[in-house]
Amino acid sequence: MAKLTNEELIEAFKELTIIELSEFVKLFEETFDVTAAAVAVAGPAGGGAGEDAEEEKDSFDVILEAAGDKKIAVIKEVRALTSLGLKEAKDVVDSAPKAVLEGATKDAAEKAKESLEAAGATVTLK
């Protein structure tokens, strides 16, 4: 089997529905005995915290400022990002501005921001 590049993987994930992606994440977690939350919190492997790490911010909060016109799509994205139930995700969207993710890595925060904005939300990173 040919090895896929990161870009090819992302393109493949873009074609999946939220339910299919959720099922993939669960299968990935079971197969590799990890959790997506632990990976996001752990950050890059290896190396201790040095002075360079203190200079650049490595923990970001994704703040949902407004849901926009497509509230249902935004609720679906919040559910996909947080694994919250429908009611909890709706409460997060209804109570904007509200933190969707806290302490996320830079890459995870940027991806979350992109997916929420694609769904029609207004998002900021802090």
Task: Render each residue's pLDDT in the chain as its tens digit; 126 residues.
Answer: 678 888 888 888 888 888 888 888 888 888 887 776 654 455 555 444 444 444 467 788 888 888 888 888 888 888 988 888 888 888 888 887 888 888 888 888 888 888 888 888 888 888
Question: What would the DSSP string read from start to end of 78-95?
Answer: HHHHH---HHHHHHHHHT
Report the number of secondary-structure helices (H) and strands (E) in the chain: 7, 3
What pTM did the predictor assign?
Answer: 0.53
Comparing C-alpha atoms, which of 54, 69, 45, 61 is closest to residue 97? 61
Which residues have CB under 8 Å from 71's CB, separation 6+?
93, 120
Which residues have CB under 8 Å from 124's CB, separation 6+?
63, 65
d(CA 103, CA 47) in angstroms, rounded, equals: 19
Contact yes or no for 121/74 (Cβ under 8 A): yes
